[in-house]
Chain A
Amino acid sequence: MSRQDHISNLFLDNESKLNERPPEMVWNRLEERLDSRKAKHKVILYRQAAAVAAMIVLISMVSMFTLFNKNSNTVALEAPLAKNGNALAYGEEEKPARPILMSHKERIYYRKQDLIAEVKEPAKETNIPTIEEHTSTKNEQLIAQNTNVKPRNSRTNEAYGAEGIITPESSIAPKTALEDTNLELTEEVSTEYQASPPSPMTNTTTSSPVVSSSKSDIKLERIPKDELPVGKPYEDPKAPVEKPYAWEITTTDDLLGRDKAMKEKELARAETESKAWLNKDQKKEVEKKKKAKKGSRHPEIAAGNEDGATLAKESAVVLPSSPSFMDAEEELIAEEAVRQSIDQFTWILGEWKDAEGNSIEKWTRTDGSTLVGQGYYYANGVKQFSEKMAIKQMNNKVYFMVTVEDDGAPIYLPLISFDGQIATFINEKNSFPQEVVIQKISNNQFQTTLNSNSSLNAAQQSYLSNRNFITIQNATRNMNRSQK
């Protein structure tokens, strides 16, 4: 059953009467949806940024961890070398390597060490006098105070010498800066005072006094000389047990080996996957070409046309696919399939007007192989311009004919492609038009587009400006079927 019957015409002619402005509420709802879409996009962007930041942090942490491992391994391996190779300067004490990761106890222990070191060798920058300096200063002051007092007992520390002479005993028991911290020294321990603090890492035999400290003050505990082990290194029971950190050494080679194995596995899997994809793609190509041969009237939903392809995929309704904007190979296939018959253009027969009603086209069939279109342009009811067009079938080919210049010969453009909706006529030998595209939008609407790559002369420009809407891309005119 055709579309030319009375009922079809009745609906076609009156269809535009259904056009009506929708209620404002629809736009308001649409605007809300569009706003929420914007917000969603923002959230997605933030999430992506957060994910990237998290990745960066993770990578940097892993790399830092690896670097530390490497460093600690190097220290552990290099320390004995340094000892054996006399790398230490003369008089410099060998300092044991401290682990990077320390427990609370370890940290307290090393802090003690530092404090003892500070007491022993105070920083020069702060100008804190050393124990010896301080002692001598104190002695001088005391001597000055007690110049007339004879030494009664050198061990009582009441006086250090008579008449400016310091007895040898006085130097044995000096008052030190540690006196200020309520340190009481007994006879037994006084001579051992200069002993260096204990270190679990070194073989120092002297180990008293033990220093217990907090941030603000330093307290020294006295350990009787007799109780000290002789010939054995002092071992602090609270001090952490030194571990060889074997796990750090295993990381480098083992992990490298594991990484390599994993990489190889991944590579093999990627290869098999890519092969599978290639096979799929080849199948798709073949199917695409088959479809292209068939042809259809829906260019927007055609395979290869991005405009409609995405939409077609998303919508649940699957529209028939057809080629329209394809690569060269597909275009060749489609070109072969173009049906060269004017019967497929009979829908254009009848009277057409543009939206303003100024531009009119009347298409009639003069014979079995020619459709003739007469175009007019009216301004204020007065005819301004007229043109003659034709779609003609000659030697099994369809041509679009148009006379652009008043005295010029008609221009022929052969039909290159037609998918039931868009007909493209191209003749690049013409200066204008080189391409004419007639698109059937619906049974009541079609659009003509004129294209040219060359510059136009005055007559051609004048022709183009009549009845056509000119944009930066092309010149078009939209025609609606005129109601009876």
Chain B
Amino acid sequence: MTEFDLIEQCKRDNRRAQRALYDKYSPKMYGVCKRYLKSREDAEDVLLEGFYKVFDKIDSFKHKGSFEGWIRRIMVNQALMFLRKKHNFNMTVEISNIDVKTELTAQDSLEAKDILDLLNKLPIGYRTVFNLYVIEGYKHREIGEILGISINTSKSQLILAKKRLQKLITQNQYPEVG
């Protein structure tokens, strides 16, 4: 069964098709949720809510564009909604005149555990802006609109996030793989 057929079956509330789509995309989306949220329990809750929304709103997906992109966007939105309940992004301080240079490091590979360790050591604001900018590819203007912060705050949060990560990697010297 193609993805097109699976989506059409999901629109008819076919439980087997829903399970098939879930099996296909849940590992990736679980990864997305883990990047944004500190605990696995929270990531699971957001994943559940996200997939519930996917199946609830699947009628509105008209096969324009990638389905994975659509699901991913829902998951990111859901994660941000979750974070907003607990954290006010507006409270982050805008810092100017930061030295933007990041030191080079020999590190070029990280294990999943290392990635999560590093991200967990970042404040929520840094982590969210870093995820949105570096991994999802949003612009600072868009991040500002999403989180309700200024463009400069978004920029400074990113710089600080990178500097903190650089420092943590240098301090800990995570083992290279491969």
Residues of A participating in the B interface, judged by any CB pair closer than 8 Å: 1, 3, 5-23, 25-27, 29-31, 33-34, 37-38, 296-301, 305-311, 315-320, 324-325, 347, 420, 422, 439-445, 447, 471-473, 478, 484
Contact = CB atoms under 8 A, between A and B. Distances in A.
B115 interface: yes
A296 B2 CA distance: 30
B62 A3 contact: no
B162 A5 contact: yes
Contacts of A27: 19, 22, 26
Interface string B112-154: 1001100000000000001001111111011001100000000
A398 to B, nearest CB: 19
B27 A444 contact: no
A33 B52 contact: yes
B160 to A, nearest CB: 11
Given A296-B142, A442-B136, 12 more contacts: A6-B108, A10-B109, A18-B34, A18-B116, A20-B112, A297-B142, A305-B64, A311-B57, A324-B65, A441-B66, A441-B69, A444-B135
A223 B115 CA distance: 112
Contacts of A31: 15
Contacts of B72: 441-442
Given A299-B64, A311-B74, A12 B146 contact: no
Nearest to A483: B109
5 contacts: A11-B110, A27-B26, A37-B56, A315-B77, A319-B77
A315 B133 CA distance: 20
Contacts of B142: 296-298, 319-320
B112 A23 contact: no
B69 A300 contact: yes
Closest 10 pairs between A and B when the two form their complex, measured CB to CB: A18-B31, A17-B112, A19-B31, A14-B110, A441-B69, A22-B30, A19-B27, A8-B134, A443-B137, A315-B77
Nearest to A437: B65
From DSSP, what is the main secondary structure of chain B's interface residues? helix
B26 A15 contact: no
A318 B60 CA distance: 18
A415 to B, nearest CB: 17
A25 B40 CA distance: 13
A298 B111 contact: no
B24 to A, nearest CB: 11
A15 B115 contact: yes
Given A10-B107, A443-B135, A21 B18 contact: no
B63 to A, nearest CB: 6
A10 B166 CA distance: 11
B61 A307 contact: yes
B135 A5 contact: no
